[in-house]
Amino acid sequence: MATTILRPGNWAPDFVGKDQDGKTINLADYKGKKLILYFYPKDNTSGCTAEACSLRDGYEDLKNLGMEVLGVSPDSEKSHKNFIQKYSLPFRLIADENHEIAEKYGVRGEKKMYGKAYFGILRTTFVINEQGVITHVFNKVDTKEHVKQILSEINK
């Protein structure tokens, strides 16, 4: 399973990566802002597309609450750029091709498909506050209704 178990109240691990335009991005860029950091397995797959589109469609609601959105997957910068253009995504995506960020967040673990075990990205979303502390962790993501899921939980 996952290498690290992060829970609400933990400090979010710092990271450095490249976005879809090859620009360096890190957690410190979001200091003073609320951040939705979501990890997903692969661009242009049905579940990942549904999740990204849910976040796109609810983006203004999230922005109105002072939240930024940042996606992370093992796909390349080029793949992310195409994914963003194809679905008009208004947020940045990080290319985590070496799984370094996923490992820090404990979202790379054993999965099964057709009875075969393999290592992959465990779909997970972290809500991080202005100070860099994790406030919510979603590891049972409803891909089609993810924004509603997030808003419902943070409004409790």
Catalytic residue among 6, 25, 27, 48: 48
48 is catalytic: yes
Long-range contact set of residues 131-139: C-beta below 8 Å, sequence gap at least 24: 132/11, 132/12, 132/27, 132/31, 133/9, 133/10, 133/11, 133/12, 134/6, 134/7, 134/8, 134/9, 134/10, 134/11, 134/12, 135/8, 136/8, 137/6, 137/7, 137/8
**Residues labelled as active-site residues:** 48
